[in-house]
Chain A
Amino acid sequence: MNIYQEELLDHYENPSNYGTLPNPDISHEEDNPLCGDQIRIDLMIEDDKIKEVRFRGHGCTISLAAASMLTEEIKGKSLDEVKQLSKDDILDMVGIPLGPVRIKCALLGLKVLKTGAYGINCWPGEEDE
């Protein structure tokens, strides 16, 4: 059970904020070409804050659970605050050690968010490369 903790499996089974928004201010989708995982995030922005968020996609436990956790984290926060979210923040949320391949699974949601909302088009953690 070491790599698949209850909390992770809970998010995978019953993801938070799953679905789409009817008229999103921002909607962005990306996939991880390595494994075919795909995530779309819809955002509704009001006063520079994330008023509503939904995500949708298919993928492994890690990518979907991490995206679910991410949506909980960003809901109600300002765009500036959310922009500061880093690779390490996501890995802390996921809370289990991940190898280099699975790290990309965990970071897919954040990548979708950052590309869609800020046009930052690289994998979190690889910004200065």
Chain B
Amino acid sequence: MNTSEFRPLDVENIRKDFPIFATEPPLAFLDNAASTQTPRPVVEAMDAYYDTYRSNIHRGIYRISEEATAQYERAREKVAQLINAPRTRQVIFTRNTTESINLIAYSWGTANIREGDEIVLTVMEHHSNLVPWQLLAQRTGAVLRFLEITDEGLLDFTQLREVLTEKTKLVAMGHVSNVLGTINPIQSVIEAAHAVGAKVVVDAAQSVPHFHVDVQQLDCDFLAFSGHKMCGPTGIGVLYGKMELLEEMPPFLGGGSMIRSVERDISSYAELPAKFEAGTPSIAEAIGLGHAVDYITQANLAAIHVHEQELLKYAHQRLKEIEGITLYGPSAPHQKMGVISFNIEGTHPHDVAGILDTHGVAIRAGHHCAQPLMKRLDVIATVRASFYLYNTIEDVDRLYDGLCRTQKLMTRRKQ
């Protein structure tokens, strides 16, 4: 790929690939941190599987099964290229980020974590990168420790040295906060963690869809993300792991596909990646994910990032004009991704979301699966708008207009 020649996103043409935006006025879909829309080429690739070569993969001794296997494995290659995995086998297909992290916690965690060991997390983790570690700590007697954030919503780096000790066996951390949009200095954390001999799990659910993530450059031990947040279908996620770790880890789920040979009382297990893909996987969804990778790569991840930064800057400017609004997270757009969390004084986030919905603006309101972060921010919930490659300045304007109307409706009565 020629990265020296930068092409801005052709948003108008991109939007034509998404039938959901064909209405008038178009849906202002600003809930991309939860799940993104699916472009036609991805749906068509999955349709082609169902219409022309639907069959189970691996071991099928007939043409269409061979085709399905080839397409499923082709998807794995595309994902491996996307994140620059040294070997394609290091890409394990799961259901989603949550399942990937649970796989690490059960397999690697149970084999390696002992009583008194410390697992370091941050206070801004999504529940999917918190609860699996709580469960592991309960099983093993390990201790969870938390890195705090500053009032700006940035990781409190000064605390890192004190928290990371020879007791630390694992650091599990989101690359980008799903609530604040904060881009965490993951590279520095990985270096510091490795210096004390700890492994690092990166929850990349909010980063891989939006900018180029290189697992070799990061030198992370594990990395997890979901297909449905990057133009792919639901039901398919990815776990990347370092070769030597994946090789040593015991299986997670037992069943078909993950075995080499099975006796009555004992089995030997398949090589990677099959060892961690028990049972018939999400075949169509994996193929769809492969095409989603093609889609965002062709659009160009660098251009997607620039486009989202423009929307973010504009949204910051407009939203600040609204009376009684509080924006959470870093104020400098370059420290964050296209995610804005906010509250309007005196109005419950669910009311904001309900009123915006009647104006054709889809945003999320709630705790965003990050209850410890809500406590840290001292709020019950927030409203969150999040962008992707198909969003426009007009979407932001409609959010702004909807918020002005909400504000008027909810406060005029208090005068």
Contact = CB atoms under 8 A, between A and B. Distances in A.
Interface of A: 1-4, 9, 13, 34-37, 58-62, 101-102, 105
A13 B413 contact: yes
Given A13-B414, A35-B381, A59-B348, A2 B358 contact: yes
22 contacts: A3-B355, A3-B357, A4-B351, A4-B354, A4-B355, A9-B409, A9-B413, A13-B414, A34-B366, A35-B350, A35-B381, A36-B374, A36-B381, A37-B348, A58-B380, A60-B348, A60-B349, A60-B351, A60-B354, A61-B351, A62-B351, A102-B354
A75 to B, nearest CB: 25
Contacts of B381: 35-36
Interface in B381-415: 381, 409-410, 413-414
Given A4-B409, A13-B414, A60 B350 contact: yes
Interface in B192-217: none
Nearest to A58: B380
B275 interface: no
B374 to A, nearest CB: 8
Interface in B321-377: 348-351, 354-355, 357-358, 365-367, 374
Contacts of A35: 348-350, 365-367, 380-381
Contacts of A59: 348
A102 B350 CA distance: 8
A58 B366 CA distance: 14
| Closest 6 pairs (CB-CB, A-B) | A60-B348, A36-B380, A60-B350, A60-B351, A61-B351, A13-B413
B311 to A, nearest CB: 27
Interface string B77-96: 00000000000000000000
Interface residues of B, number: 18
Interface of B: 348-351, 354-355, 357-358, 365-367, 374, 380-381, 409-410, 413-414
A60 B358 CA distance: 16
A1 B350 contact: no
Contact of B358 (A3, A34, A36): A3
A59 B348 CA distance: 7
B348 A61 contact: yes
A4 B356 CA distance: 12
A113 B339 CA distance: 39
A58 B381 CA distance: 12
Q: Name which of B354, B357, B380, B410 has the most chain A CB atoms within 10 A of its CB.
A: B354
Contact of A3 (B354, B365, B380, B410): B354
A37 B366 CA distance: 10
A2 B413 CA distance: 17
A82 B355 CA distance: 32
Contacts of B348: 35, 37, 59-61
Q: Name which of B350, B355, B357 has the most chain A CB atoms within 10 A of its CB.
A: B350
A36 B367 contact: yes
Contacts of B351: 4, 60-62
B378 to A, nearest CB: 12
A9 B351 CA distance: 11
Contacts of A58: 380
A125 to B, nearest CB: 19
Contacts of B410: 61
B227 to A, nearest CB: 25
A5 B147 CA distance: 45
Contacts of A62: 350-351, 354
B397 to A, nearest CB: 21
Given A3-B355, A105-B350, 4 more contacts: A4-B351, A4-B409, A61-B410, A62-B350
Nearest to A102: B354
A36 B348 CA distance: 11
A123 B87 CA distance: 51
A2 B356 CA distance: 12
Contacts of B413: 9, 13
A59 B349 CA distance: 9
A62 B350 CA distance: 9
A105 B413 CA distance: 22
B371 to A, nearest CB: 9
A105 B349 CA distance: 13
Contacts of B354: 3-4, 60, 62, 102
Nearest to A61: B351
B177 to A, nearest CB: 19
A37 B367 CA distance: 12
Contacts of A37: 348
B368 to A, nearest CB: 12
Nearest to B371: A36
A35 B348 CA distance: 10
A56 to B, nearest CB: 16
